[in-house]
Amino acid sequence: MKAAAISVIVVLAMVQLMVKPGQAINCGQVDASLAPCLTYLTQGGTPPVQCCSGVRAITEMATTQADKRAACQCVKDAASHEKTLNDDAAKTLPQKCGVKMDIPISPTTDCNA
């Protein structure tokens, strides 16, 4: 259990280091950040600490309008592939993590809005 938590933290740290100022965010970074949230996003409950760290990482990476649109599209694509997405859990994730995130987790999001 500890090894898994440490692995997730290392991955999140590496994801943050991969983004350079002025460089567009990519779906690999977004997917890696949200991976610890999968159980919460499908079953609800309480998001794990690693999940909230990932949500926070996305908001820190997506600072420009272009980055936010790119991250939004990545989140939208990932959400559309997850057939058991719990819509209520997805809507409340940022709030439960104490993070203001302008990117909804939904397969129906309009990323141009």
> Which DSSP string do the residues of 59-111 spell out, in sequence order?
HHH--SHHHHHHHHHHHHHHHHH-TT--HHHHHHHHHHHT---SS---TT--T
Domain regions of the chain by residue span: 2-15+23-97
d(CA 49, CA 46): 9
Fold classification of 2-15+23-97 is Hydrophobic Seed Protein (1.10.110)
pTM of the model: 0.75
**Phi/psi at 34 (nearest 5 deg)?**
-90, -10
Going residue by residue through the chain, which has 113 residues, state the pLDDT in tens, using 9 for 90 and above.
444 333 334 333 444 444 444 457 999 999 999 999 999 999 999 999 999 999 999 999 999 999 999 999 999 999 998 889 999 999 999 999 999 998 999 999 999 98
Q: How far apart are the first and last CA of the chain?
A: 40
